């Protein structure tokens, strides 16, 4: 999530949320000097401005001691990018990343991921799949146990990804590394070995030409809508919360559904996040007075409360919001905002759980961009945004059921008429 407008991204071609490009160092500086200066600024900026050290096990001073010599010895900018990536990996924070990459770079999570897996009793288990993308198309299913990636035992694969500067083991670091390696790289197609229920191993081939790939997703309309049974409406936002044109298209969709008895807002395909210039106009359509919707706390300075104002003719009927692992950043903010304002009930699974609001840094010599988590964000009730759990948690252990979140939300709304002021009593 960014407050205000998105900052300029280095590079020209977007891939998994990053620009695929390599910047240029200044001709006036020897490469080693330029890399050292940029690394020092990178390290110091995060040392003073990263907002989540309190929940990380990383020894940030050790990160500098470990990677500054590597930056000094980097023969070219491509190698220097690798050094910065390894230093950032020590934070195991998917909301903190570079804005450039190489073919060896891990894809960003969740934008560049189509598998969500977690360690459960020492096993790497698939808990969600991105609908319509390569992992699902290759035959992977929720509940499967992954034992190897590209011929390497999955435990060895994440050991090579996890940071080397942790003061203590952290399950969050292991889960982050699992997601990162399963997202893969542009360098090679993924081969995933799964332990089947009968004890045999089966290999699944991902990133095939016939698959929908995260690097080249099919272009979808920014906002789609449809009428549901029983006079209800559905609006889906398709990964467009950073595009100001989304606001007008959202207004058009809501106009088509203005007489609906209830509304479902589907945010399950918003992995790339966005900004408040899009989110707040959307929130403003569902309230009749100015209301706070989110709290924040910077590393330095006073805590703040974000307030949204009404916009246009308010939609007053009951609402439900659908979320999942590919609801990220500003999508998460919309969900917790509607929940905090008492305006909607949230259905689905835990979200991407990205840390806070991000700031941008451009390293002066290489012009490499860095995005880092700089402000902690909270639900109005004080719950950290990344810890928010939907009002109704719906997880299908087999992945074979129809859209249970939408089905359950519609049934819930059918039995919950709006109160006099348009607010909806929330289920707990």
User: Which has more confidence, 138 or 216?
Assistant: 138
SS3 content of the chain, % helix, strand, coil (to 5): 30, 25, 45
Which has the closest alpha carbon to 178: 105, 120, 138?
Answer: 120
How is the chain split into domains, by residue range?
Answer: 14-98, 115-205, 223-351+388-414
**Is pLDDT of 163 > 80?**
yes
| Average pLDDT over every residue of 245-265 | 98
The yes/no answer on whether domain 223-351+388-414 falls in CATH 3.90.226.10 is yes
Under a CB-based contact definition with an 8 Å cutoff, are residues 219 and 151 in contact?
Answer: no
Q: How confident is the model at residue 1 (pLDDT cuts 50, 70, 90)?
A: low
Which has the closest alpha carbon to 127: 171, 169, 179, 162?
Answer: 179
- Topology at the third CATH level for domain 14-98: Transcription Regulator spoIIAA (3.30.750)
Tallying the residues shown for the chain, one arrives at: 428
**Rounded to 5 degrees, what angle do the CA atoms 233, 237, 240 make?**
160
**Is pLDDT of 367 > 80?**
yes
Which has the closest alpha carbon to 62: 91, 100, 21, 93?
Answer: 91
Residue 400, pLDDT score: 56
> What is the C-alpha end-to-end distance of the chain, expressed in Å?
27
Residue 419, pLDDT score: 35
Residue 220, pLDDT score: 80
**Is pLDDT of 85 > 90?**
yes
Q: Are strands 369-378 and 357-362 parallel, antiparallel or unpaired?
A: antiparallel
Q: How confident is the model at residue 29 (pLDDT cuts 50, 70, 90)?
A: low
Task: Tell me the whole-structure pTM to 2 decimals.
Answer: 0.89
Look-up: residue for tokens 């002066």? 364
3-class state of residue 180 by DSSP = helix
User: Residue 14, class by beta-carbon neighbours within 10 Å (0-12 exposed, 13-18 middle, 19+ buried)?
Assistant: middle
Least confident of 160-174, 223-237, 285-299, 402-416: 402-416
3-class state of residue 174 by DSSP = helix
Q: What is the DSSP string of 354-390?
A: --SEEEEEE-TTT--EEEEEEEEEE-TTS-BGGG---
DSSP label at 94?
Answer: T
CA torsion 73→79→81→87, rounded to 10°? Answer: -60
Model pLDDT for residues 278-337, shown as the tens digit of each residue: 999 999 999 999 999 999 999 999 999 999 999 999 999 999 999 999 999 999 999 999
Q: How many Å apart are CA 249 and CA 233, to the nearest integer?
A: 15
The first and second tokens of residue 273, run together, are: 């996040």
CB atoms within 10 A of CB 250: 21
Model pLDDT for residues 182-229, shown as the tens digit of each residue: 999 999 999 999 999 899 999 999 999 999 999 888 778 999 999 999
The percent of residues above 70 in pLDDT, for the chain, comes to: 89
Residue 5, pLDDT score: 34
The percent of residues above 90 in pLDDT, for the chain, comes to: 85
The first and second tokens of residue 223, run together, are: 């906002």
Under a CB-based contact definition with an 8 Å cutoff, are residues 22 and 79 in contact?
Answer: no
Q: How many Å apart are CA 234 and CA 323, to the nearest integer?
A: 14
Q: Return the HEC string of 123-156.
A: EEEEEEECCCCHHHHCCCCCCCEEEEECCEEHHH
Residue 4, pLDDT score: 46
**Rounded to 5 degrees, what angle do the CA atoms 10, 11, 17 make?**
85
**Is pLDDT of 395 > 80?**
no
Q: How many Å apart are CA 109 and CA 94, to the nearest integer?
A: 6
Model pLDDT for residues 39-62, shown as the tens digit of each residue: 999 999 999 999 999 999 999 999
Residue 399, pLDDT score: 53
- Topology at the third CATH level for domain 115-205: Pdz3 Domain (2.30.42)
| Average pLDDT over every residue of 127-131 | 95
């Amino acid at each position: 999530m960014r407050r205000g407008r998105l900052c300029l991204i280095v590079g020209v071609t977007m891939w998994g949320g990053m620009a695929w490009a390599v910047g240029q160092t200044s001709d006036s500086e020897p490469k080693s000097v330029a890399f050292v200066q940029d690394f020092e600024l990178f390290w110091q900026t995060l040392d003073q401005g990263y907002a989540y050290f309190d929940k990380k096990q990383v020894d940030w001073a050790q990160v500098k001691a470990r990677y500054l010599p590597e930056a000094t010895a980097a023969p070219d900018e491509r190698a220097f990018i690798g050094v910065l990536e390894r230093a950032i990996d020590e934070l195991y924070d998917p909301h903190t990343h570079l804005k450039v990459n190489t073919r060896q770079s891990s894809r960003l999570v969740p934008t560049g991921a189509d598998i969500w897996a977690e360690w459960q009793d020492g096993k790497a288990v698939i808990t969600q799949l991105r609908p319509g993308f390569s992992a699902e198309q290759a035959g992977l299913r929720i509940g499967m146990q992954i034992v190897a990636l590209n011929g390497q035992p999955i435990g060895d694969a994440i050991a090579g990804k996890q940071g080397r500067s942790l003061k203590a083991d952290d399950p969050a670091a292991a889960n982050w590394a699992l997601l990162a390696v399963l997202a893969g790289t542009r360098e090679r197609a993924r081969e995933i070995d799964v332990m089947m229920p009968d004890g045999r191993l089966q290999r699944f081939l991902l990133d095939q030409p016939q698959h929908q790939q995260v690097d080249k997703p099919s272009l979808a309309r920014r906002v789609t809508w449809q009428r549901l049974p029983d006079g209800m409406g559905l609006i889906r936002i398709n990964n467009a919360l950073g595009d100001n044109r989304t606001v007008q298209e959202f207004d058009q969709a809501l106009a088509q559904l203005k007489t609906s008895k209830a509304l479902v807002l589907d945010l399950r395909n918003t992995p790339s996040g966005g900004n408040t210039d899009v989110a707040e106009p959307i929130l403003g359509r569902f309230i009749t007075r100015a209301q706070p919707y989110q709290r924040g706390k910077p590393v330095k300075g006073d805590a703040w409360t974000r307030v949204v104002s009404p916009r246009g003719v308010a939609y007053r009927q009951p609402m439900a919001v659908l979320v999942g692992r590919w609801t990220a950043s500003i999508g998460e903010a919309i969900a917790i905002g509607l929940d905090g304002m008492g305006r909607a009930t949230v259905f689905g699974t835990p979200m991407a759980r990205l840390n806070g609001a991000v700031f941008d840094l451009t390293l002066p010599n290489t012009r490499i961009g860095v995005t880092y988590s700089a402000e902690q964000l909270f639900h109005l009730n004080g719950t950290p945004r990344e810890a928010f759990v939907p009002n109704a948690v719906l997880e299908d252990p087999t992945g074979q059921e129809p859209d249970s979140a939408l089905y359950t939300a519609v049934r819930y709304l059918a039995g919950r008429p709006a109160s006099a002021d348009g607010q909806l009593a929330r289920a707990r």
